[in-house]
Amino acid sequence: MKTMLVTGGAGFIGSNFIRYVLEKTGFPGRVVNLDKLTYAGNPENLEDIRRKYKSRYAFVKGDICDFRLLNGLFKKYSPETVVHFAAESHVDRSIFGPKDFIETNIHGTFALLETARSFWLSRIPDPRSSISYRFHHVSTDEVYGSLGKTGKFKETTPYDPRSPYSASKASSDHIARAYHHTYGLPVTISNCSNNYGPYHFPEKLIPLAILNALEGKPLPVYGDGLQVRDWLYVGDHCAAIWRILRKGRAGETYNVGGNCEKTNISVVKEICRALERLAPSAANPALKGRSYEDLITFVKDRAGHDRRYAIDFGKIKRGLGWSPSVTFARGLAETVRWYLGNAAWVGNVKTGAYRSWLKKNYD
Ligand code: NAD
Ligand code: DAU
């Protein structure tokens, strides 16, 4: 049976991706999910998948920096595909404590690449054009820095990372690219804009705003709220990665975006409007007569806050036939509905109850 090793599969995008692969693509093989279960990793995201795909889904708790563990995994499962999501992903946390970002995002990516190299290269007849083996590295548009009022990031835009998070991701991209150019490892890279959707950890803007609003807490907007991000529904991102795995060429980088530039303040206001439709503030005792928009609170800006991101995804559109399919209005409504309908997941994440469940089941 073919095996796909997914790292960071207990996180937001990784868990959506594993669900997508097993439920929507017809992939006949096995998925091995390697995740350290940091504060952001939550195997509850895939509990139903674990029960449904007993022989085709395996979870391994472990650190991508651990060479011995990686060697053991490659020996045991012989994965032909690695899809590498595992990372420290939150910009604010990287500002307050960059160490884990350097360790996981740089050293961890290196350890994975090096392990894949030692297991694969002797087995692949023509690694540079291999379609049966693939190391896909999931990265971010933040490596390109910040834009002025116009222009979009292309794959050829020079790197200009400006936070410890984006600098660590930029480093890992360079190392991944070097493994292709130097050793012929069949690497592809995607640089994607801001994702949103189910299972998003509520430290990031969209889930934080939804859950704070429902509890009548302030909705913190950094600075003037006029920073621009491009938003992509997570299901569209999963489809893009799948397309790259199937049709993308080793050695190539693909930008992935949602064609959906919005200021942060407009995103927060749209969340408030979606909530008014789906869970009106008038019927929510936590709001005490206020509307959701009344909760918007401008707070101190993020240090070094990038002003604007925008993605030119023409290469993946023309070359591989991928475009985003979910509008922001639809994706946001689905996301709000998901948080409203998954009170147990929300409760566990917010109270840390999943941490004790983790301890019981995974330590
Ligand atoms: P996340 O923080 O939700 O999940 C990260 C996962 O990685 C967690 O399950 C965590 O336990 C695991 N992990 C962390 N350190 C590890 C280690 N040393 N060993 C093994 N597992 C470890 O992140 P996300 O938002 O799902 O992002 C996934 C990837 O996509 C990251 O590489 C991120 O840089 C990239 N990305 C994210 C976005 C976004 O909007 N969220 C956009 C573009 C790119
Ligand atoms: O662009 C892709 C990146 O998107 C990914 O590489 C990162 O892993 C992911 O976390 C995300 O980074 P951002 O910093 O853009 O996401 P975040 O949700 O933290 O913030 C989105 C914007 O909203 C950003 O301009 C900061 C602002 N913000 C964020 C929070 C948490 C606020 O105004 N208030 C908040 O409380």
Angle between helices 205-214 and 328-341 (to 10 degrees): 50
Give the domain ranges of the chain: 3-199+233-258+305-325
> Which tokens in the block code for residue 195?
């994702």
Atom of ligand 2 nearest to the CA of 230: 1
CA 354 to CA 134: how far, in whole Å? 33
Q: Give yes or no: 141 in active site.
A: yes
- Ligand 2: residue of 100, 163, 204 to mutate (most ligand atoms within 8 A of CB) is 204
pLDDT band at 161 (very low <50, low <70, confident <90, very high): very high
Residue 74 has pLDDT above 90, yes or no: yes
- Among 37, 27, 93, residue whose Cα is nearest residue 57: 27
Residue 347 has pLDDT above 70, yes or no: yes
Among the listed residues 142, 173, 236, 270, the single catalytic one is 142
Tracing tokens 């006949």 back to the chain, one arrives at 28
Query: If you average pLDDT over every residue of the chain, what do you get?
Result: 96
Report the SS3 class of residue 137.
Answer: strand
Contact in structure between 33 and 46 (CB atoms under 8 Å): yes
Ligand 1 pocket residues where CB is under 6 Å? 7-8, 10-14, 35-38, 40-41, 63-65, 85-89, 104, 108, 138, 140, 169, 192, 194-195, 201
Average pLDDT over residues 202-217: 98
Radius of gyration (C-alpha) of the chain in whole angstroms:
20
Instruction: Give the distance (Å) from ligand 2 centre to CA of residue 119.
Output: 37
- Ligand 2: residue of 88, 169, 229 to mutate (most ligand atoms within 8 A of CB) is 229
Could you tell me what percent of the chain has a pLDDT over 90?
93
CA 76 to CA 247: how far, in whole Å? 27
**Confidence at residue 362, expressed as pLDDT on a 0 to 100 scale:** 82
CA-proximal residue: ligand 1, atom 33 (nearest): 89
Instruction: Give the distance (Å) from ligand 1 centre to CA of residue 290.
Output: 36
User: What is the CATH architecture of 3-199+233-258+305-325?
Assistant: 3-Layer(aba) Sandwich (3.40)
CA-proximal residue: ligand 2, atom 21 (nearest): 205
Residue 363 has pLDDT above 80, yes or no: no
Report the SS3 class of residue 31.
Answer: strand
Closest ligand to residue 172's CA: 1
Q: Give yes or no: 142 in active site.
A: yes
**Confidence at residue 310, expressed as pLDDT on a 0 to 100 scale:** 98
CA-proximal residue: ligand 1, atom 28 (nearest): 85
CA 341 to CA 336: how far, in whole Å? 9
- Give per-residue pLDDT as tens, 132-145: 899 999 999 999 99
- Among 238, 236, 193, residue whose Cα is nearest residue 15: 238
- Give per-residue pLDDT as tens, 98-153: 999 999 999 999 999 999 999 998 787 666 666 689 999 999 999 999 999 999 99
Instruction: Give the distance (Å) from ligand 1 centre to CA of residue 87.
Output: 4
Contact in structure between 253 and 328 (CB atoms under 8 Å): no
